[in-house]
Amino acid sequence: MIDTVVVAPGENPGSAVSGVSWPAIFAGAVVACALTLVLLTFGTGLGLTLVSPWAGAGVSATTFKITTGLYLIVIAMIASSLGGYLAGRLGRRFRISHGIAANITELDNNGHPIFGWCFVPRDNLASGDVMLAQKIALETDELGALKIARNFAPRWRIPAWQWC
């Protein structure tokens, strides 16, 4: 039986704040829209150089349609990839290592650990279940989960059972 408490006693679960970083998401969306606009402007100029108002000059209509469709697909892929990458880099990042206690570390922008978080289950559970519960808790109610966790300075050469 899995019995996990994520919200501290006395807290209202309905008022929990999500761990989603909305400013990071909006920044990624703005960058994706701006890059789409720049690449569409470039593509328009490129497309106007390929067509010609005179018969027999320039590319055929079929070639133009296929090239335009492929270019729009490439624009969408590049812009959404860059926007998603930026949104992911601007948000908070956690690493969950294999184990049941003291296995969550918050990472800085370079991927180095800042400090760790200790969640200890009440019952003897499989480490995969504990890691999944920790991941869900951090994604759905990051602030509530971190409020009840015990933090520690990550020390990588000391056994995990001495951290908490």
Q: Which tens digit of pLDDT belongs to each residue from 88-131?
A: 777 777 777 676 666 677 777 677 777 777 777 777 777 777 77
Task: Quote the pLDDT of residue 2.
Answer: 47
DSSP tag of 17: P
Positions of the chain with pLDDT lower than 50, given as ranges: 1-17, 157-164
pLDDT confidence of residue 155: 56
User: Looking at residue 152, what is its pLDDT?
Assistant: 67
> Tell me, what's the pLDDT at 65?
92
In angstroms, what CA-CA distances link 26 with 31, 57, 83, 89, 129? 9, 45, 9, 13, 33
Say how many C-beta atoms besides its own lie within 10 A of residue 79's C-beta: 20
pTM above 0.85, yes or no: no
> Would you state the pLDDT for residue 4?
46
